[in-house]
Structures are given as structure tokens and as C-alpha cells.
Amino acid sequence: MEGITIIGTSHIARQSIREVKEAIEKGKPDIVALELDRQRLPALLRKDHRGPRMSDIGRVGLKGYFFALLGSWAERRLGESVGVKPGEEMKAAYRLARRKGIAVALIDQDISITLQRLSKSITWKEKFRFLGDVLKGLFGGKPEFIFDLSTVPEEEIIKKMIARIRDRYPTIYRVLIEERNQAMTRNLTRLRQENPDKRILAIVGAGHKDDLREALDKGNISITYSLPRGMSLVLE
């Protein structure tokens, strides 16, 4: 879609921090659109940022809570191995945009909706398979994909990883990748329609980039569940 530039990041890569800053400095966008929502951004900016809490169970469901807890722990462990906290590139993009007076839009689906849908859909069998694979990968198992964690993986590796997730964890793939891609496509399309003369820079995880670009180019917005329009995408 004309007027929208998309860059893909790794949430624990120093390379991504440099790239988002460079894209904002050189591209001079009017709006920076982030793969975040109104819950995750404040959590990311807090100095005492913690993972999911027991009080979240009633809101996102038991399985959604455990998945968020596991994902947060695994990402934190990987981040510690390269000396980068998860989400630092999003934080850097937000702060630089604010400092330059550039509007910031949050285009991801509300995390509560994502975890609620995951909690309702995922089977315990798939969840324990995921848990076993994560623990095996973190504690000495032979990695299926080898790449430098401090950089964004090559596109071919990303495609293979996404295909592996789709085959081994179909529910996780559908809820965390496919449905969120649909939501972000819808939100970017809306953002473009509301700001037809503005240059938009979208910063998303590398695993979302190609599908988002293809959906936007084709105008392929297929929402398989109810998504309220809600409040403005652009922060005040």
C-alpha cells in the first residue's frame, strides 16, 4: 500500500534498535506505527516492568496466563544472553518519535483479546508440546535453526521458522500470528484512510512483515472475528 513503509525487527536484537532509529531519522515519517497496544506500551516503558501476574487469570484465562508467563520468561532469558531487554527497539522507536514530535500509532490487537482467544482455543497437549520445546531449546537441546540472536534472521530462516510454528503449533500460529496480522492490516488500512497525505512507518516483528505487506498490497482484510473500532489508533 502506497504511503506505508514496513520494517521487520527482532525484539532482542541490537541491530533492530539501530535500524528503527535510522528509519525514523532518515525516513522522516509523519506517523510511527508500532506493533504494540495500549496495555503493552505502558508496561514496556515502566522501569519495574514485570511479566504476567496472577490477577490476570480472570481476564485472559488460565491457559492464556500460563502461555504469557512462559513466553515472557523465555524471551527474557534470550534477551539476557545478548544483553538486550525484549522490546527495546519498540521503546527506542517510541521515545525517538516523541522527542521529534512525530505521531505514534499502536496497531496491534489488544493483548487481552489475544490471550483470551489463545486460552479458549489452545489444547493442553499443544501447550505442553510448546513448553517442552522451549525448555529443550533453552537448556541444551540441539537448535533446529541457528542464527545470531543479536541480529534479525535472514528472510529464508524466518519463513522456515513460521512454517515450523504453523505445523507444530497450529493454534498458536493462528492466534498469535495470523489473527494479529489481520488486526494489524485492518488498523494500518484504517490509519492510511484517516491520514491519506501522511508518511507512515510501521515497525513490526520480522515474522509479521511479509504477510502484512502482501495483505496491504492486495487489500486483503479478512477479519475472522469481531474487532471493535475502539479509540483512536494515534496516541494523544
Confidence of residue 226 (pLDDT cuts 50, 70, 90): very low
Kindly state whether residue 91 falls inside one of the protein's structural domains: yes
Crossing angle of helices 62-82/124-138, nearest 10°?
10
Point out which residues pair with 8 in neighbouring strands. 204
For residue 33, what is the enclosing H or E element? strand 31-34
* Residue 21 vs residues 36, 49, 79, 93, 116: alpha-carbon distances, Å: 17, 23, 20, 6, 33
Predicted confidence (pLDDT) at residue 83 exceeds the cutoff of 80: no
Q: Is residue 120 part of a domain?
A: yes
Average of per-residue pLDDT across 72-92: 70
236: in domain = no
**pTM to 2 decimals?**
0.81
Say if 230 falls within a structural domain. Answer: no
Q: Is residue 136 within 8 Å of residue 143, measured between CB atoms?
A: no
Q: Is 70 exceeded by the pLDDT of residue 140? A: no
- The pLDDT tens digits for 154-196 are 778 888 888 888 998 899 899 989 999 999 999 999 999 999 9
- For the chain, the average pLDDT equals 80
Name the CA dihedral angle for 125, 160, 72, 91, rounded to a multiple of 10 degrees: -150
In a domain, residue 228? The reply is no
DSSP bridge pairs for 200: 4, 31
Is 166 inside a domain boundary?
yes
For 57, the domain range is 4-218
In this predicted structure, what is the pLDDT of residue 75?
Answer: 59
Give the model confidence (pLDDT) of 3-29 as tens digits: 899 999 988 788 899 999 999 999 999
Rounded distance between C-alpha atoms, residue 192 and residue 124, angstroms: 40
Identify whether 105 is part of a domain: yes
The tally of domains found in the chain comes to: 1
Residue with grid cell 492486495, as numbered in its chain: 218
The verdict on residue 226 lying in a domain is no
